[in-house]
Amino acid sequence: MKKLKADKKSIQQFLQHAGRLEEKLGPVLFQLPPRWKLNIERLAVFLARLPAKQRCTFEFRDQSWYVPETYELLRQYNCAFLYL
């Protein structure tokens, strides 16, 4: 619902709760809305707020996200891309 607008404190709080899963916690999936178009600036800010040690993957459900800039940002922050 936030479309990558979460502040660093909210992200940390969410990941702290998820961390209670301990060894059962795998990569955290961020699934974007189906008709939400490419917003590379917002993605860059969001990725910079994620802790480097947290494994994350993104599912972009609008084709506009499937561009080299998106892939490069994900690579830069060591995040995965889920394509279904």
In a 3-state reduction of DSSP, which class is residue 82?
strand
What pLDDT is recorded for position 31? 93
pTM, two decimals, is 0.88
In a 3-state reduction of DSSP, which class is residue 2?
coil
54 within 8 A of 15, measured Cβ to Cβ: yes
Q: 65: exposed, middle or buried (C-beta count within 10 Å: 0-12, 13-18, 19+)?
A: buried
40 within 8 A of 4, measured Cβ to Cβ: no
What pLDDT is recorded for position 36? 94
What pLDDT is recorded for position 9? 93
62 within 8 A of 32, measured Cβ to Cβ: yes
